[in-house]
Amino acid sequence: MSVITRELLEALDTNIKVTWQKRFEGAPNAELWKKIAMPINSKSLSEKYSFLGTVPGLREFKSERIPGTLSGFNYEISNKKWESTLDVDRDVIEDDSTGQIMLAVTGLATKAAKHYTILTAKAFELAASTPIYDGQNFFDADHTTGSNYLGTAKALDATNVAAAELLLNKQTDDRGEYLGYQGTAIICGPELSAAANKLVNSKTIVEGGVAVDNPNYQRYEVVVLPHLGTNKTWAVADLSEGLLPFIVQIRVAISLVAKTDLNSDRAFDKDIFTWGTRARHNVGYGNHQLIVGAVAS
């Protein structure tokens, strides 16, 4: 049995923070979101993204420059506050000989590390019903620069991937000139991961009863968002252009805080010490022209 002293709590707090940080940095899928989302450092309650409108390309310099403008676009992402809290009873600290506290801290860190990926997956799932700067949904057939939505009941197969690729290729700038985007990734959830991997990793396919070379063999990276679960949204995206289809906006990075003062009201009245995470961030939509979405039946 351990006698609870200030020195013991300080040592425990240090051990907890080291355990939490190590797991937070090494948790599975902690960095998965970075494949499809841009990290943006926020400096206020919210951020406006005027650059998401079409940036002008090079044109011949004749009598004078013809400036593009970002002023007509207004897309704002407001930061949200997030927390997770672990209360530890004083008796557990006194009696813990099996590392239960550290196991709980490891779980806390694992869930915190996955949070950016979870939010990015949710944005992907809701992309066909969430409006962006031009008033259309992120996945929508009515963007003025070209449709980026194939529709529903679209199986993840070679025919529909080719159709999505064509829509991606048809994206235009403010003068109607083609941007030349080409898919580099297929994004989906676990429900469609087998179909995506078969499409990309099979050297041959069968057409009319005959095995032929697969034109999509190793053409795309398959990005599986595990938190989509059974959702059947999928997309073809160009992830090579510097900008990405989604934004992870970070105001205050996820960190671990503690309340371990022996003289606090909670410690005195309830015999409870507390560790928890705190963060301020949110996820939103980036350049819709870099991705074409669909939903399988």
Q: What pLDDT band is residue 195 in, cutting at 50, 70 and 90?
A: very high
What confidence score (pLDDT) does residue 260 get?
85
pTM of the model: 0.89
What confidence score (pLDDT) does residue 208 get?
81
Q: What pLDDT band is residue 6 in, cutting at 50, 70 and 90?
A: confident
More reliable by pLDDT, 256 or 68: 256
Q: What percent of the chain has pLDDT over 90?
A: 69
Average pLDDT rounded to a whole number, residues 202-227: 92
What confidence score (pLDDT) does residue 1 get?
47
What is the residue-wise DSSP string for 36-105? TEEEEE--SSEEE-GGGSPPP------SS------TT---EEE-EEEEEEEEEEHHHHHH--S-HHHHHH
Q: What pLDDT band is residue 187 in, cutting at 50, 70 and 90?
A: very high
What is the residue-wise DSSP string for the chain? -----HHHHHHHHHHHHHHHHHHHHH-TTTTGGGGTEEEEE--SSEEE-GGGSPPP------SS------TT---EEE-EEEEEEEEEEHHHHHH--S-HHHHHHHHHHHHHHTHHHHHHHHHHHTGGG-B-TTSSBSS-TT-TT---EEESS--SSHHHHHHHHHHHHT-B-TTS-B------EEEE-HHHHHHHHHHHH-SEEEETTEEEE-TTTTTSEEEE-GGGTT--EEEEE---SSS-SEEEEEEEEEEEEEE--TTSHHHHHH-EEEEEEEEEEEEEE--GGGEEEEE--
Average pLDDT rounded to a whole number, residues 239-265: 92
Contact (CB, 8 A) for 199 and 158: yes
Reference 33, options 225, 204, 192, 170; nearest CA is 225
What confidence score (pLDDT) does residue 67 get?
47
Tens of pLDDT, residues 80-129:
999 999 999 989 888 876 688 999 999 999 999 999 999 999 999 999 99
Average pLDDT rounded to a whole number, residues 129-139: 92
pLDDT greater than 90 at residue 205:
no
What confidence score (pLDDT) does residue 269 get?
74
- Tally the C-alpha atoms within 13 A of residue 68's C-alpha that lie toward its C-beta: 15
pLDDT greater than 60 at residue 73:
no
Domains and CATH numbers, the chain: 6-52+82-295 (3.90.1690)
Average pLDDT rounded to a whole number, residues 163-170: 97
